[in-house]
Structure 1
């Protein structure tokens, strides 16, 4: 009795087994009774254009920005802007208390004048007239400058002048103020950025794709950028840079430039979609592909019966797939009603 039960179970498994590769593997053997004819939907397999979409997550970064910082540690006297303010090139951002800086410039200016007088005395002592510097040999002038300390005084004067000029922060570009944390009546930190001016007119998106997908994109290709912020909506960008290196995770870094959108923020997270139209592909609906014993198979309608084929899927999108191997153009591919089909199941087209 036990042997009989095992034998029956093996028969059932054989009847339900999937395709073994190539065309079907033959008809399913039954018990002699006529199986019910199943109604299905089918369409002829033809080559057509396939809309392929690569998706990735990325971050927005400004193509141009300027970090502004004070060169000296002095008290902050004025701050004329705040985070989020739009500023224009040449506009004042903040200013230090300039008393010490102006005083240092006056002192260095006096020292420079004194050194200049001493240099003239050295030249006169050498028998030359300071009013006719063009007639004095270069080595004599250099010697006079060293003895008088003129060059050192000039260097100190230039530093004092530079510090005074940079006591007022002026933006070198148009943009938006970000990362401003300094306050009036507080000491400026010479080693820290006071604020950043971000040019939001041209932003770029930094994202990654798999190295296997690298051949599907190129410089200048258009991509779709979708911020997580629903208020902004979809944006268009073009690939501007492809880093020629694959990282340890098998991905390649890509940059795409978005122009003319001031709503994007530096560091914003986005979704990136790269759309391509691939011509001359064997395309079938996703509904045509079913699983049998862990394999992807497709049923075709041949002579009023279902025939099973193992297939290899190359690409897919939300609704369709590209068949790389297993099917031939012109076959009647069953697209609906294939959930419970077996090799050789009688089928007919739904009206």
Structure 2
């Protein structure tokens, strides 16, 4: 028992030698903040936190389609004589696409022209028989002229001739719009179809994107909002704007949206794309996603205090591909560490470097 006083005295001395830094570390541990235990100085970049306009972004998958697509075919079936285009070829409005063999139509035209000439002579005989001069038709009353044309068969002959000329005109297929040839499967010296199109012309100068957004995201999408369109096959993106929103929610809780795409060149009808809808919202505290790290499942941002990194729990709001808005935990004017923060702890010594 004589050693007990000595042990008590040693305990008191050790307690009195406890440093303020040790007490601070114990307090930090109590609230779950990891403090620095090394003299290593981390290199970091920082930004001044200020309220700014945040570009909210919704990302969705969609499909490209042309606003103008025309299936072209011959009005009447016939033997295809020539095809002047190929798939993928660009054509202009009025350009010749294909022609049918016109041998029978040419013969028919000659017959119809002869029939008109014969009927004209017959009409003149009818007029002479009624006492009128066939060389002065303007003197013939309308009702007499109409009757003479019917009796001579001239009216029917002229109708037949007009129909044959129209068939000859339709035997050459022209592009009704400018665009790109697609779905061309016909070949020369084969019969055309009056029901199946010879090809399709896609006007790729006016493309639109169709995509869906969640019902919960619908308040963030409005006609006129800017979009970015990126095909899965390339990294080139194009701009556009929202044109239509379907006022219905489908069974999966999705709403269809259409957008016009600027500069459709290079886009293909039916192409799968990634759509990014961007819309500026009110000013907010905006930080890059690189500034946020996870500690014990919570979001943490380090700020600069002198030459030390300070630990801050935060709550984020909206986000886009590269940024968050901060709703709690930070205040304007703070210097936020944006890189070099992965291995930081509370009060870690840091050195600022240029970006």
Asked if 1:229 corresponds to 2:233, the answer is: yes
Q: Which of 278, 286, 307 in structure 2 is aligned with 1:283?
A: 286
Sort the Cα spacing of 1:193 and 1:334 in 2 relative to 1 into closer, same or farther, 3 A.
same
2:311/2:347 contact within 8 Å kept: no
Sort the Cα spacing of 1:159 and 1:170 in 2 relative to 1 into closer, same or farther, 3 A.
same
Equivalence map 1:234-249=2 (5 Å): 234-239=236-241, 242-243=243-244, 245-249=246-250
Alpha-carbon separation, structure 1, partners of 2:181 and 2:267: 14
Indicate the SS of the match to 1:151. helix
Sort the Cα spacing of 1:205 and 1:349 in 2 relative to 1 into closer, same or farther, 3 A.
farther
Sort the Cα spacing of 1:292 and 1:251 in 2 relative to 1 into closer, same or farther, 3 A.
farther
Determine the structure 2 residue equivalent to 1:10.
Answer: none
Sort the Cα spacing of 1:190 and 1:147 in 2 relative to 1 into closer, same or farther, 3 A.
same
Asked if 1:256 corresponds to 2:254, the answer is: no
**Unaligned segments of structure 1, at least 5 residues:** 1-32, 337-346
Indicate the SS of the match to 2:108. helix
- Cα offset, 1:160, TM superposition: 0.8
Sort the Cα spacing of 1:122 and 1:54 in 2 relative to 1 into closer, same or farther, 3 A.
farther
Alpha-carbon separation, structure 2, partners of 1:116 and 1:247: 65
Q: Which of 322, 325, 329 in structure 2 is aligned with 1:322?
A: 325
TM-score by length of 1: 0.68
TM-score by length of 2: 0.67
Q: Which of 130, 137, 142 in structure 1 is aligned with 2:134?
A: 130
Asked if 1:159 corresponds to 2:163, the answer is: yes
Q: Deviations over 1:186-221 (max 9, x none)?
A: 111122211123334x141322343644654443x5
2:62/2:210 contact within 8 Å kept: yes
Alpha-carbon separation, structure 2, partners of 1:82 and 1:315: 50
- Cα offset, 1:123, TM superposition: 3.2
| Higher gyration radius (CA) | 2
Determine the structure 2 residue equivalent to 1:19.
Answer: none
How many residues are matched? Answer: 299
Give the root-mean-square deviation of aligned CA atoms: 4.1
**Unaligned segments of structure 2, at least 5 residues:** 1-25, 37-43, 304-309, 339-344, 350-355
1:207/1:272 contact within 8 Å kept: no
Sort the Cα spacing of 1:149 and 1:140 in 2 relative to 1 into closer, same or farther, 3 A.
same
1:59/1:270 contact within 8 Å kept: yes
Sort the Cα spacing of 1:146 and 1:329 in 2 relative to 1 into closer, same or farther, 3 A.
farther
Indicate the SS of the match to 1:176. strand
Asked if 1:39 corresponds to 2:35, the answer is: yes
